[in-house]
Structure 1
Amino acid sequence: MSLRFTCLCGKVSVELHGAPAARANCHCSTCRSFYGTSLLSATAWEAAAVRVEDGVALTFQHPGKQVAKTFCGVCGDILFGTNRLGMRVVPNALVARATDGQLDAALAPTMHLFYRQRVVDVSDDLPKYLDGWDGPTYAP
């Protein structure tokens, strides 16, 4: 797979190559705070699979955690984050915007992570891991 998307103003473009390593809705407090959302729906990619192709992107390193976000210096749109494992975390909203609002099934979330930390309940059939994907799942 190869997919190209741009920031909101179109000044920076990013290209994704291959397949994501993980596809999830993350409810952890770090993602909520860092990305400014109640949950982050995203794909995680090996660093080499995500490249800024055009424009100048800026990176902000979190002052207290091992995470960073890369964004457009013009419109401020977050292009991707980097988690503590060095994976690039690409918000699904950006990818869907580049594909006429539709998220390809190959990129759709397959799970919820850190559901114990949620601020909103989600009603779907995806497994809801209370912590990481190697831990217990939520049972209503």
Structure 2
Amino acid sequence: MSIPATVACLCGKVELALGAAPQARANCHCASCRDFYATPMLAASAWAAADVRVVKGELRRYAHPDKQMSRAFCADCGELMFGINRLGMTVLPNGLAARAAGGALPPALAPQMHLFYAERVLEVADALPKYLQGWDGPLLAD
């Protein structure tokens, strides 16, 4: 199963075109993502900004008041479509791609690692590398 060419919100009024491939695929446990996205862990792929384009509909945007991050959501149904992280990458929630692919996340978008695992609020039992901070830092010791 390949990466979907497009993803859409629940109401279908917003559609994003995906180009190339993501630059990173991860489960993020950092306090910033947990707080900003209201989730105990953000499962997402990170794309170059030019590789995610709005091709249909209207987005509303919200910038974090203190951090270099923002999110964009459907103006009608309110579904989160993507975020922008401090590196300027477009962060696409895995749920959008899974829905576009018929309910299962395509292997080409499956997470490859856990990031900021030192900040986790839940344990995850899988074989993925668990970086205590960013992907250039130390790993959780077995």
Match of 2:108 among 106, 109, 114: 106
In 2, distance between residues paired with 1:82 and 1:116? 22
Q: What residue identity is the alignment partner of 2:28?
A: C
Match of 2:9 in 1: 7
Letter in 1 for 2:51: A
Asked if the contact 2:4–2:101 (Cα under 8 Å) also holds between the matched residues in 1, the reply is no
Kindly report which structure 2 residues correspond to 1:120-135, keeping only aligned pairs within 5 A, or say none: 120-135=122-137
> Does residue 118 of the first structure (1) align with residue 140 of the second (2)?
no
Amino acid in structure 2 at the alignment position of 1:21: Q
- 2:23 and 2:94 map into 1 onto residues whose CA distance is 14
Match of 1:64 in 2: 66
Matches within 5 A, 1:77-96: 77-96=79-98
Identity %: 56
Deviations 1:34-58 (A, max 9, x none): 1111100000000000001000111
Deviation at 1:3, TM superposition (A): 1.6
TM-score w.r.t. the length of structure 1 is 0.97
Unaligned runs of 5+ in 1: none
Could you say what secondary structure the match of 1:58 adopts? strand
User: 1:24 is matched with which residue?
Assistant: 26
Q: Deviations over 1:86-110 (max 9, x none)?
A: 0000000111011111111111000
In the alignment, which residue of structure 2 is the partner of 1:37? Answer: 39
What amino acid maps onto 2:48 in structure 1?
E
- Do residues 48 (structure 1) and 50 (structure 2) align? yes
8 Å Cα contact 2:4-2:100 kept in structure 1:
no
- Number of residues of Structure 1 aligned to a counterpart in Structure 2: 140
Tell me how far 1:2 sits from its aligned partner.
5.5
RMSD over equivalenced CA pairs, Å: 0.9
Matched position secondary structure for 2:5: strand
